[in-house]
Each structure stands twice: as structure tokens, then as C-alpha cells.
Structure 1
Amino acid sequence: MIQRREYVNQYVRFYQVLLLSIALSPLAAMTVFAVLRRRVVQYLSQEVRQELENLGDLETELESRAEQADQMLGDLEQRLERHKDQLPDEVDSVSRTVEVQLAEIQELDAFREQRLRELQELLWTVYSNHKSQEQHLAHLTPETLLRHLSGSPEEMDDSSIGELLELPETEPFTETLADEISPDETPLAETIYQAESAPEQPPELDGDLDESLDENLSESDQTSEDDESEPDLVSDESCSQTSEDDESESDLVSDEVLSSPDSREGWLAVARDCERDGRWPEAIAAYEQALTYPASNSPQTPASSEEAKPALTPENSPSAAQETPTEEDATGESSPQSPSFEQLKQVAQEAGDRRQWPACIKACQQALTHKNDAHLYKLLGNALQALGQPTQAQDSYRQALRFKPDFAEVYANLGSLYAQQKHWPKAIECFRRALRLQPQLAAAYRNFAKVWEQVGNEGEALACWQQALAIEPDWAQPQDHLVLGNRWVKLDRWDIAETCYRRAIASDANLLDAWHNLAEVLAHRQQWHTARDTYETLLQKAPQRVMSQLGYARVLAGMQDWDGAMSQYHHLAEVAPEQVFAQHRFAQRLKDEGLIPQAIRVYRRALQFAPESFELQLGLAELLCQSEQWQEGLAAAEKAIAEHPQVAKAHYYAGRCQVAQERWQEAATHLQQAVNLDPQFFWSQYFWGKSLLALQQWQMAADVLAEAMPLNPQFHWGYVELGQAWMELEMYHKAVEAFQQAQALAPDTPWLAKKLADALRGRALADIEEAVNCYRQAIAEHPEDLDNYHRALDLKSNDIDLYVQLADELARQNQDSGAITFYQMALQLQDRPEIKAKLQDLLKKKIK
């Protein structure tokens, strides 16, 4: 772009050098400048078209590369799914290819962004060149040509020589929103409560607005975000539309001027019109006629008695016919009876300040017939909007943006207009643009907050309220700061909530709710000393405020000032006995700190003023059981049961106290009821099982304990009790498993080794008996197999029947000696007549 600009500057200087050879020829100079402007515009237009084509090619290539990358990524994922770790080389190759493609895409994207910026700069150069040329030609006189041709040092240093391609500087925007966005704006506090009725899901926000915002509102947000301090570039469409409007409106002007081109400015206008239509000979002739008039606005010919018309420059008549009045209009303006533009503008402003909207509209419309003014269009839009004419107001706002594209207040008013119509995405976009142009518009932030509330975005709404109050801290009432602080608390933004509460207190030191909430926020952030001081200040103002007394007690507990906290809670038990849960929570806090006696005192003190409180009775029963005060604990538990018999914990504490007193049957009854109400509470099931063991209900005890242990598998005493129940049922295998689990958890448990050994012995004996029974079955199936007899006798050597069966089989097999031996062994175990008879028969047989 710099090289292109240097080239054009050289092009301009070339024609300036050419002018030096044309000695004092104004006609030739005007012709050269006209041709120069046309060629420069043609050259830049060609450059723009070429850049657009290049940009389109880049977009196409970028999309193609993106598609290739997506396809390669998809192929890579499919190959990974198919092959997993089987083809690492192929995976690496594809990965490298994808990385190369991504790098190229990033490079193309960066190049596209660079070309886009260059194109935007070129467009602005064309626009500024067009305006600069108009200004040069409109003010060109023979005297200025002579000064340029003379080449004096002062003129050579003049920066206006290179003005053709210089970007115009933007003026800083310092105006403020003079009026509220909506005439009937509701107070902040009312709006906050209205936010509760907002829809649950906000609508999706469109990035582009419809044509009602004109082309200025549909420009790319990316350009604004890259550099918010720079003015938005006008799109090609808006430029062409403006150009067409200028041409059509200029035609209306030229129709009037050509009827009497008796001034320098009139002939210049004719020349420009001819030049725009490509009628170059007529344009040269018109410029030649223009040079015959001096540059002043005095009468141009001796015979002329009319005043010269004002010069048709971009400042006073760039595009609209109504900006350049006709001869009759000019004559009317000069008469004393017709008010001037400034007078009409002042009347319109005063009527708007008094909210006399019809008079304001009339004055604005009359003033706009003289001259287009962005502020008047805005004021007209305000009046139309206040009178319920949104479409006409929208048109006025568009006109204001046309003449002043960076008019932040107009964008804000458009946002308010769309908000009234519930076009939330458009309203949001308008407010965003307004605040980018003018970040100090507090009223815009307030109305933007209301829009966010309507779409249900509490975080954005509060952020806007915070910005508005940062700009105008005195605008809100103390109650408004309080409500905002409460809303920030709901979003867990305690720091901002603290700021809001402090602002409320600074505005109204007697706003007690703000003091209380500030102390609560400080306590939440564990700034205990500051919270304590805040509560003490509040309680000096309102010593009977119960909620603040509770907060003060909590802060003392947070500081671990237990004596002070107990004194405060004792006082609260008397003055506010209904605060049962506060007393209960404090007692539980003392219990967690290991201060059991102090916690019991808190419960007993509170029960003096609320004796029928179930929560206090239950909490007291818990602590009494924990401190092994069984009789008092049983009394407290029974009182709790009397209040709420369907609470499992109350039955558990009663049963636990009775277990400690070995009142097994009553304990089993309470504990069974506790299990029925809450079967997932381990201790109720455990102590119920233990009570059943004491009652020698072995099977039921085993079932209850077996069901309880999965709830607390790390409690080894439960396995001991369960193993003992299985031992009583002679289920030695399950007893061994239970004792082994207890041993794994606590191997030093007293008497556990003996219990496990007994279980193992019982299991072994049971296994031997089972094995012998199996051998008996085998003997019945194959009595000739003598090995079965011997194996069975190895396991059970005192079994007489086995000896007799073995002797009978040996006698049948004619092994008399062996049979005699086993008969004798059986008789040694037990003297039976039938065994003696068999032995005698066998001996007689052997003697024969």
C-alpha cells in the first residue's frame, strides 16, 4: 500500500510539473486536474477489483485446504480405529501431512487478513481521494494556480500538496447522551424485580441486524474489535448506495443551478455533473466559465443585482437536494421574517428539553429543510419514539448515522427502540456498538442491563449495572446498591457485593440491611475482625435485631471466641427461642471442636426455653450417648421419639443406651424399628445384631450382621460378632471367613486367634466326616475295593462299622488271617456279640 501511494503521489507530481510548462493557462490547468482525478480513480478502482478477485481466490483456496484437512483428519481417525497400534509409520505420515496442511491453512488465513486490511485501506484511500479532489476543484482559483506554479518555498512546504491521498483525521467524540433512552424509564430497583419474569433461555444473538440499522450497523464486528478507536470502514454496498444517492440528489440541485449559472460555484457544480456523466468537453467549458468569476460571494457581473449563491462544497451540499436551497429558498432565508437554521435548531432543542414532542418534531423538520444535521435527526428520532412511532424514529436514527456514523447516542437509542419492540438480539448489538464508540455512556449501560435482564443473562446484566454505577456513582439510591449486592451474592461474586453494600452504607448510614449483609459477606470471606466490628456497629444502631445478633454470634464462633459465642447464644436462647436450628448448629460446631460438655450446656440452655424442640432433644441425646451418660441419653431419646416417632436416629439412640445397660430385649425392639426406618444406617443394624446374639437368636443375629457389614466393611468387631454367630450355628466355613476378615483388619484383637483356631478345627472335622461319608458310598458301590476301607479308617480310626465291613470282605475273599485281625480290632473298640460270633466261626473254619 505504501508503494502504491508513492506511485500515485509521483503521478500527481508529474502533472504538477506538466503545469509548469503551461504558462498561466487556467483552462489547461483545470482540464489536467480533471483528467488526473479520473485516471487516479480509475486506477484505484482497478486495484480494488483486482484485490477483491485476489481475496476471493484466497477464500476459495482456504476453503479447499480446510476441506482437505478435515478429510485427512477423518481418514486418520478411521485408520486409527481400524489398525490401532499396527501401523505406526502410516499414522505418523498422515499426522505430518495434516500438520503441514494446518500450517498452510494458518499461513493462508494470515495472508488473507493482511490482504483484507490492505483492501480496506485502499477503499478508504479512494473515498478520501474523491473528497479531496472535490475540495481542490471547488476552491481552485487562478491565484492558487499562480502560487503553485511560482514554486515559492512557503507553498512547496505546504502539506496540502500531498493532500490528495492523505487519510482524514477523525475528531474525538466527546458528547454525552443528553436524554434518557426511554421517556418512561423505570427505576433501577423496579427493573431488578422485573428480571425474575425473564425467559429461562435467552434467544440466540444475531451478529447481523436487518436493513433497519442501515449499512453502518451491518459492518463487520471484527474490524471494530481489532481497533475500537478507529472509525468503522464503510462497506462497498453502503459506498455505492451513498454515491447513488449523491448523484440523484445532485441532479436535483443541478436542475435549479443550470437555469441561472451566474456564479463561480454554479458553474463548478455544472462542471462536476458533466464530468460525472463523462461529458468532458462540456465539463471543460463549464470550468472555463467558472474561472471567469472571482472566488468571493459578491455579485459577479455589473448587471447582476442578485446575491451569489453559496459555494457548492462537500461541507454544505454533498449529496442531498435539500442541503442546497433554490433561488427562492435562498431569498426566503435572507428575509427577516424567515427563521434561520440555528434559530430552528435551538427551538427544537428547547422543545425536546421540555418534552414537547409535537413542537420538537415540527421545529426539527423545518430546520432539516435548510441543512442536514445528525443531531437534529437524533432529536427527531427521540420525539417520534416518545410519541410511539417506532418506524419513523428508526428512519430518523438511520439518517443521523448516515451523516455521523460514530454517533454513539443514536446506537443507544436504537437499542432502546428495539428493546421496546422485544427484538433482543438487535437491541444487544446496538448497545454494544454504542458502548464501543462511547464507553462512558452510563444511561446506555443501564438500558443495556435491562435488556440482559429480559433475556435472562444475570451476569451480563449485573456487569452493565456495575459499569453504569462506576461512571455515575451518585445516580442510584442506597436501596438500589443493596439490591445489586444481593444479586451479586447469588452469583458468588462476594467482592463486588461488598463494594455494593459499602456504597449503600456511604449513601445511607442508617440502612440496616446493608450493614447486616456487609457483615455477612465479610464473614463469608473469613474477615472475622472486620465482620465483628461491623456487627457491633449495627447492633449499636439496632440492639434488638435478632438476625444481626445471630450473625454476630456466628462471627464470634468463627473467631473461636467460644466463651463470647456461648454467652451470645445463651442470650439468644432467651430472647429468640424459636431460633432452634441456630442453637443446634452451634452445639454441633462445639462437638466438632471436641468441646462436648460445652455443647451439652448449649442444648440444655436452649431446651429451657424450647422444651418441645425435637432437634434439640435429639442433639442432646446424641451427645449424651457419646459421653456415655446412658440414663440421661435414654430420657432425651424417648422425649425425641415422643415428638417424632418416625425418626430412625431417635430409636437408635434409645436402643444404644439400652445396649449399654444390657437391656437386650428393649434394645432389640428400638434398634429393629430404627433399621426399618433407615436400613442404610450401619450402627442400628450392628447393635441390633449384637442384641440378638445376647438373646441367643443365632440365625437372626447372623442374618442381621451379614447384612450390616457391607455398610461398614472396615469395622472389625462386626466380623467378630458375625463369626461367633456362625460358630453357634456350626457353619464353620462362614465363621472362618468372618474371623479371617477381622484378623486382616485388626490382628491384635483379643481372643481372635483362639476363635479362628476353633473355627478352623470345626471346619476340619466337618471336612473329615464328609470325606468318610464319601468313602462309605464308594464301598457300597465297590465292596471288593479294599483300598476304600483303609482310606476311610485313616480318617476315622475309631469307626467300628468300617472294621467289621473290612473283615467281612476279607473273609469273603478267603483272607481269613486278615479278617480275624480286623474282627479283633473291632472288639477292642466295642464288645459286640455279633462280632464275636463272626470271629468264632472264622476260627473254627481255620482249625478244620
Structure 2
Amino acid sequence: MNSEIVTLDFQQQAELYLAVGKLDEAIALCQQILASDPNSAETCKTLGKALQAQGKLEDARYWYKVAIALKPDFPEAFANLGTLCATLEQWHEAIACYQKAISLQPEFAGFYRNLSRVFTQIGKAEEATDCWYQALMVAPVEIPEEYLDLGNTLLAQNKLKLALICYHRTIYLNPSFCEAYDKLADAYSELQQWKEAITNYRKAIKIQPDISEFHYKLGNALQASGLLHEAVAAYRESIELNPNSFSSYYNLGSVMLKLENWQQAIIAYRTSVEINPDFSWSYYSIGEACDKLEKWSESATAYQRATELDPNSFAAFHKWGDALCKLEKWLEAGAAYEGAIALNSDSFWSHYNLALTLVKLQKFAPAIIAYQRAIALNPEFSWTYHNLGEVLLKSQQWKAAATAYQRAIELNPNISWSYYNLGDALTELHEWNDAVSAYLDALQLDHSLPNLYTKLGEVLTKRTPVSLDLATSYYHHEMQPLYSSEFYSQVAQKFADRDRLDAAAALYLMALEVRPKDPEISQKLEEILEKQRQTGEISL
């Protein structure tokens, strides 16, 4: 027992020599201790430290390893060996040693700090920050700036919840630390916790009300929260403090757009352009506001400038095309839509609108291609098929036109013009029965379509049989009833009033197919047939 006490006294003396820089004395004393007690891990560690201080690094490494061999759970020995390896830039070994020391003694902050320095040296910033954070957690300090700096680093690394802890600690240590409130609000903004962000921006402003950026950030948080009028006030305060704040003017314009105050939005955006004429989104936003005011020329100019500043802006090219269409500048609009498609070939509306402009330019073949590409992207939009049908009609591609209109009708059975144009296509194909059905469908939806009765009358008589019996059989087998007998009778009467007796007779036959025993319909048909016999015009 007395020997252990003596060894302990000598060990303390050796550490004292080491502490005051008497390295030779420390080394000699350690060697003396080890001569009598070769299993003293603590002495081996102290000897290693003294040798390391003399620059005898390999000798020091040896004694650290001896200490670890004697005492495998010796955290200080691992940490000292880690420091030696770091001195030799043996980073992997240094990291392993510090991590082992931490695993043995996780509540010692110095190990984390040293490991943080190693990670910094090898460019592993996030790992270094994590160690820095752990050091402050296990051994808190009373320096608010230390937590603020760490919080800023964590915020930059998007470790937001850890950053919040650091900022709160900063404020706890210094409740008047304006920058800490600002940064705390920034972290809450990144988390989209707008209420907390607004609260802390306002605290920063209360401490230091003349910082334009604080008001600007407050405006952003208010805008994100939907508190638009309060956001306007914040942006205006920011501008009052810094009249050259491009971002404040731009975001003020954004709020004005949301408030549908189009003119004020334009004023704000144009002021932002005066400050920074090279930001494409300012011009794009001017275009949006001008669209709302139907100032198409100004809108087109703004979108054009946006495309010049950002040739990769699909949205700007597409919107430019829209504005040019309003100005009926079809050639330029087509070029704008082609620019949009070059950037995003999957844009249905760009292909669709390009097709519309090509039709206006009477470039039917490329218009057909554009519509077909639009259909491939969105096969459920009825108007694409309808408009494709119109181009195919103009190109005298009757069968393809009929197919397009039939698909349009499947998707939207309430567009009278689709039936009307389908009737035209079927007429050209001499598909009289289907043409009759198409025209009747159109008539049911809109009786004012141009020349509809004339067209219906012509197709009704194209395939009429030569006798009443044959006619009845024909309509029974070929023309399935689509509407009520009243509808057929009403249309028949209109033809009768126009002396289109053949068409009237055909329609009364359709009415009889629905109600074969209706005496009034039979009487009307007989009157028509009698009149035809008298005039010699009967074709039944």
C-alpha cells in the first residue's frame, strides 16, 4: 500500500514537471516509476506526453499504446494518441482514437472539440459542426456568441432544429441580442413555422428598428402566412429605410398581385427593375399584372424581355406566346410557343396553342401535327379533337375529321358544333344515316346553327326508298330512334313550313318509329304525302 502511495506521489510530481515544462525531469521521473511499477498506465501516458512535447513522436506513440494495452478503457490515452496522429496528419487514425475516447468518456467536451478540429482539417464541415455542438451540450459555456456562431453554422447546413436550440441558448444568455432573434426567425422561416418567425422578427425590430432587412424578412413571413396587408406595411417600412432595396420592391409587387391590385403591382415591379434591370422574374411578373389589365402590348414586351434575360424560362416563352395571340400576331406567337416547347416538350398547352396559331396562319399540315402531339400529352381534352377536326375538314381529310369529332363528342357530348361539323364530314363521306344523326344531335343542342336545316334536309333525302313500305322498313332497321317523337315532329313541321316535303316526310317516319300508333303523326305524314302526290314531287 505504501508503494502505491509513493508511486502516486511520484506520478503527481511527474505531471507537475510536465505542466511547468520541465520535460527532462518529467521523463526521468516516469522512467524511475516504471522501473518499480511497470504496469502503471497513467505513468506511461505521462511519459508519452513528455516525449511528444520534446518532438519525439514515435517514442510517444509507443508509450501511449503501452498505456492502452495496460488499461484498454483509458480515454485520456486514446485522446493523446489521437492528438499525436493529428499532428502527423494521420487523420483516419486520429478520428478513430478520438471516437474511442468519446465512447469511453462521452461527457468530456475536450474530446469533441479535438475531433471537431480534425474534421475541419479534412473538410468534413458537418461532422465538425456536430462535434462542436456536442461539446457545448456536455459542457455549456456562458458566451452567447459561441452559441450564435454554432447556430449560424447549423442553419447553413439546414440542421434547423439544432440551430433553434443554439439560438434559444444565445437569447437565454443575452435577451437583448438582436441578431439572435433575427437568426432564430430565419430558422423558423425555413421550417415554415410562420407564427414563431413573425414573433421573433418583431422582437429583433423592437430592439433595432432601423434595419431594413428585418422589415423585409418580416414581410416575407407575413406574406407566407397570408397576412397580406401587414406584409405590405412591412415591405414599405423596409423601403423607407432602404429605398434601393430591390427585393422589398419585388416582393411588394408579389403581394399586390395577390391582392389583385394590378396597377400597384406594376409600379412596384417597375421600380425593382430600375434598381436591378437584369432580374428576369421582375419582367415576367410585370407581364402577369399587365395580363390582368389586358394590356397585351405591354405584357408581350415584358415577357419578351424576360426571355432575353433568361433564355431557359419555359414559362416566359409560353406567356409571351399567349400575349402575342391576344395581339393577333400569329407568326410571332407561334415562334414563342416553339421556344417554350424546345424547353419543355411535355407542355400540352404549348402544343395546343401552337396549333391554334398555325391554323390562323393557314399552315394546316403542321397544325395537325401540333394537335396530335397535344393529344398524346392529354388525350382527355375534347377541344383538341374538335379543333383537329376543323383542320382536317379544311384539308378535306373527311374520314380523319369524322374520327376526331366522334372522339370530341365522346369526351364532351354538349358541344353543338362538334355534331354539326361531324355531320359535314359524314356528308362528304356519303354516310347519310350517320350524317342525319349528327345534324339532329346538333339541332337538339342549338337550332340556330347556320344552314343546319338546309344540310339536314339534304342528307335526309339522299337515301330515301321509293315506297312507303320500303321507307318504313328502312327507318326501322337503319335509323334507330335517338329522340322523342315530339322532337322529330317539331323538326318535320319546320321542314314542311319551308316546303321541304321530302325531309318532313322522312322525319315524320322517324317519329312514327318511336310512336307507331300516334294518329296525329300519321295524319301529318299523310298530309305531306298527299301534297307530294299533288305536286308530283313524291320520292317515297
**TM-score category, normalised to shorter length:** 0.5 to 0.7
Q: Whole-Å Cα distance in 1 between the matches of residues 99 and 316 of structure 2?
A: 61
1:547 is aligned with what amino acid?
E
Structure 1 residues 225-244: aligned runs within 5 Å: none
2:218 to 509, 530, 552: 552
Other-structure match for 1:421 = 88
Task: Indicate yes or no: 2:305 matched with 1:638.
Answer: no
- Counterpart contact for 1:654–1:667, Cα < 8 Å: no
1:375 to 24, 42, 48: 42
How far did 1:621 drift? 1.4
Other-structure match for 2:509 = none
Other-structure match for 1:686 = 352
Other-structure match for 1:448 = 115
SS at match of 1:747: coil
- Counterpart contact for 1:414–1:430, Cα < 8 Å: yes
Normalised TM-score (structure 2): 0.67
CA, structure 1 residues 634+715, in 2 after alignment: closer, same or farther (shift >3 Å)? farther
CA, structure 1 residues 408+636, in 2 after alignment: closer, same or farther (shift >3 Å)? same
- Counterpart contact for 1:374–1:400, Cα < 8 Å: yes
CA, structure 1 residues 639+706, in 2 after alignment: closer, same or farther (shift >3 Å)? same
2:180 to 514, 525, 530: 514
Other-structure match for 2:385 = 719
2:102 is aligned with what amino acid?
L
SS at match of 1:388: coil
Q: Whole-Å Cα distance in 2 between the matches of residues 764 and 712 of structure 1?
A: 32
1:494 to 160, 173, 177: 160
Q: Whole-Å Cα distance in 1 between the matches of residues 378 and 301 of structure 2?
A: 27
Normalised TM-score (structure 1): 0.45
Task: Identify unmatched segments of 5+ residues in structure 1.
Answer: 1-312, 318-322, 324-339, 767-793, 798-848
CA, structure 1 residues 608+451, in 2 after alignment: closer, same or farther (shift >3 Å)? closer
Q: Whole-Å Cα distance in 1 between the matches of residues 231 and 214 of structure 2?
A: 13
- Counterpart contact for 1:570–1:602, Cα < 8 Å: no
2:57 to 385, 390, 393: 390
How far did 1:508 drift? 5.0
Q: Whole-Å Cα distance in 2 between the matches of residues 585 and 619 of structure 1?
A: 10
1:395 is aligned with what amino acid?
Y
Other-structure match for 2:322 = 656
Once structures 1 and 2 are overlaid, which stretch shifts more, 514-523 or 364-373? Answer: 364-373
Structure 1 residues 290-329: aligned runs within 5 Å: 316=3
Once structures 1 and 2 are overlaid, which stretch shifts more, 477-486 or 378-387? Answer: 477-486
SS at match of 1:348: helix
- Counterpart contact for 2:389–2:400, Cα < 8 Å: yes
CA, structure 1 residues 653+455, in 2 after alignment: closer, same or farther (shift >3 Å)? closer
- Counterpart contact for 2:406–2:422, Cα < 8 Å: yes
CA, structure 1 residues 449+697, in 2 after alignment: closer, same or farther (shift >3 Å)? closer
- Counterpart contact for 2:272–2:282, Cα < 8 Å: no
1:608 to 266, 271, 279: 271
Other-structure match for 1:668 = 331
CA, structure 1 residues 754+408, in 2 after alignment: closer, same or farther (shift >3 Å)? same
How far did 1:639 drift? 4.1
Other-structure match for 1:751 = 417
Q: Whole-Å Cα distance in 2 between the matches of residues 564 and 622 of structure 1?
A: 23
Q: Whole-Å Cα distance in 1 between the matches of residues 300 and 237 of structure 2?
A: 26
CA, structure 1 residues 599+474, in 2 after alignment: closer, same or farther (shift >3 Å)? farther
- Counterpart contact for 1:519–1:531, Cα < 8 Å: yes
Task: Indicate yes or no: 2:427 matched with 1:761.
Answer: yes
Q: Whole-Å Cα distance in 2 between the matches of residues 537 and 367 of structure 1?
A: 62
- Counterpart contact for 1:570–1:605, Cα < 8 Å: no
Structure 1 residues 15-54: aligned runs within 5 Å: none
Task: Indicate yes or no: 2:64 matched with 1:400.
Answer: no
Task: Indicate yes or no: 2:400 matched with 1:737.
Answer: no
Q: How many residues align?
A: 428
Q: Whole-Å Cα distance in 1 between the matches of residues 160 and 228 of structure 2?
A: 27
Overall identity of the aligned pairs, in %: 26
Task: Identify unmatched segments of 5+ residues in structure 2.
Answer: 433-461, 466-540
How far did 1:590 drift? 7.1
How far did 1:724 drift? 0.5
- Counterpart contact for 1:633–1:653, Cα < 8 Å: no
- Counterpart contact for 1:577–1:610, Cα < 8 Å: no
CA, structure 1 residues 692+436, in 2 after alignment: closer, same or farther (shift >3 Å)? closer
SS at match of 1:381: helix
Q: Whole-Å Cα distance in 2 between the matches of residues 483 and 352 of structure 1?
A: 35
CA, structure 1 residues 536+636, in 2 after alignment: closer, same or farther (shift >3 Å)? same
Q: Whole-Å Cα distance in 1 between the matches of residues 270 and 319 of structure 2?
A: 18
Q: Whole-Å Cα distance in 2 between the matches of residues 558 and 398 of structure 1?
A: 59
Q: Relative contact order (C-alpha < 8 Å, sep 6+): which is higher?
A: 1
Point out the structure with max Rg over C-alpha.
Answer: 1
1:431 is aligned with what amino acid?
Y
How far did 1:538 drift? 1.4
1:349-399 Cα distance to aligned partner (Å, 9 max, x none): 223223443443344334444545433332221122222222211232234
- Counterpart contact for 1:349–1:360, Cα < 8 Å: yes
- Counterpart contact for 2:252–2:268, Cα < 8 Å: no
Structure 1 residues 811-830: aligned runs within 5 Å: none
Q: Whole-Å Cα distance in 2 between the matches of residues 571 and 737 of structure 1?
A: 62
SS at match of 2:73: coil
- Counterpart contact for 1:652–1:671, Cα < 8 Å: no
Q: Whole-Å Cα distance in 2 between the matches of residues 501 and 604 of structure 1?
A: 38
1:710 to 376, 389, 392: 376
CA, structure 1 residues 398+621, in 2 after alignment: closer, same or farther (shift >3 Å)? closer
CA, structure 1 residues 444+638, in 2 after alignment: closer, same or farther (shift >3 Å)? same
CA, structure 1 residues 602+739, in 2 after alignment: closer, same or farther (shift >3 Å)? same
Q: Whole-Å Cα distance in 2 between the matches of residues 735 and 655 of structure 1?
A: 27
Task: Indicate yes or no: 2:145 matched with 1:482.
Answer: no
CA, structure 1 residues 368+691, in 2 after alignment: closer, same or farther (shift >3 Å)? closer
2:100 to 414, 417, 433: 433
- Counterpart contact for 1:655–1:671, Cα < 8 Å: yes
Q: Whole-Å Cα distance in 2 between the matches of residues 585 and 740 of structure 1?
A: 49
CA, structure 1 residues 668+571, in 2 after alignment: closer, same or farther (shift >3 Å)? farther
How far did 1:441 drift? 1.7
- Counterpart contact for 1:638–1:650, Cα < 8 Å: no
1:557-603 Cα distance to aligned partner (Å, 9 max, x none): 23321110122223445655665566556755776xxx351466334
Q: Whole-Å Cα distance in 2 between the matches of residues 356 and 737 of structure 1?
A: 101
Other-structure match for 1:255 = none
1:526-580 Cα distance to aligned partner (Å, 9 max, x none): 4333322211121233334343322211221233211101222234456556655
How far did 1:754 drift? 1.5
Q: Whole-Å Cα distance in 2 between the matches of residues 460 and 655 of structure 1?
A: 50
- Counterpart contact for 1:603–1:616, Cα < 8 Å: no
1:530 is aligned with what amino acid?
E
- Counterpart contact for 1:505–1:511, Cα < 8 Å: yes
- Counterpart contact for 1:397–1:410, Cα < 8 Å: yes
CA, structure 1 residues 352+600, in 2 after alignment: closer, same or farther (shift >3 Å)? farther
How far did 1:453 drift? 4.5
CA, structure 1 residues 533+412, in 2 after alignment: closer, same or farther (shift >3 Å)? same
SS at match of 2:140: coil
Once structures 1 and 2 are overlaid, which stretch shifts more, 616-625 or 452-461? Answer: 452-461
CA, structure 1 residues 543+637, in 2 after alignment: closer, same or farther (shift >3 Å)? farther
SS at match of 1:751: helix
CA, structure 1 residues 684+754, in 2 after alignment: closer, same or farther (shift >3 Å)? same
How far did 1:763 drift? 3.3
